[in-house]
């Protein structure tokens, strides 16, 4: 870890603030070991222009590493609005498909 810190100092890079979790890897054993192996390093000049950037730890699926995403924290506007393309009306079974989907939706009004 000292060598990595020395590299960061020599390269003059900054480790971004991590949101969501403290560690990105675990050995998945009873006596678990945790580490933050995955991270984004940025040039301070880059952060001058994009000062709100943060790393966000996401939950893993198959790997023993949690994925890390970089971005600007923003307002959560909820689910995205539904998008419908007029070309879908060219399919003769579209209305039946929409009705079936709506009826089979959990908690749908019938």
How does DSSP assign the chain, residue by residue? -HHHHHHHHHHT-EEPPEES-S-SEE--SSS--EE-----EE-HHHHHHSTT-EEEE---SSSSB--EEEE-------SPPP---GGGGGSTTHHHHHHHHHHHSTT---
Higher pLDDT, 50 or 62: 50
54 within a domain of the structure (yes/no): yes
Q: Is the pTM higher than 0.85?
A: no
Host domain of residue 28: 2-77
105 within a domain of the structure (yes/no): no
What is the C-alpha to C-alpha distance for residues 85 and 92, in angstroms, rounded to an integer? 14
104 within a domain of the structure (yes/no): no
Overall domain count for the chain: 1
99 within a domain of the structure (yes/no): no
Confidence of residue 10 (pLDDT cuts 50, 70, 90): very high
Nearest alpha carbon to residue 23 among 71, 67, 74, 72: 67
Q: What is the pLDDT of residues 14-38, one digit of tens each?
A: 888 787 777 777 776 677 777 777 7
């Amino acid at each position: 870890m000292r060598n990595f810190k020395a590299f960061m100092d020599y390269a003059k890079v900054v480790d971004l603030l991590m949101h969501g979790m403290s560690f990105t890897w675990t050995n998945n054993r009873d006596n678990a070991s945790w580490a933050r192996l995955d991270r984004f390093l940025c040039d301070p000049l880059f952060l001058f222009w994009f000062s709100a950037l943060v790393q966000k730890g996401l939950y893993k699926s198959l790997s023993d590493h949690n994925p890390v995403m970089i971005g600007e924290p923003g307002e959560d506007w909820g689910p995205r609005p539904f998008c419908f393309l007029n070309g879908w009306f060219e399919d003769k079974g579209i209305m039946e498909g929409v009705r079936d989907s709506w009826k089979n939706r959990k908690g749908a009004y019938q």
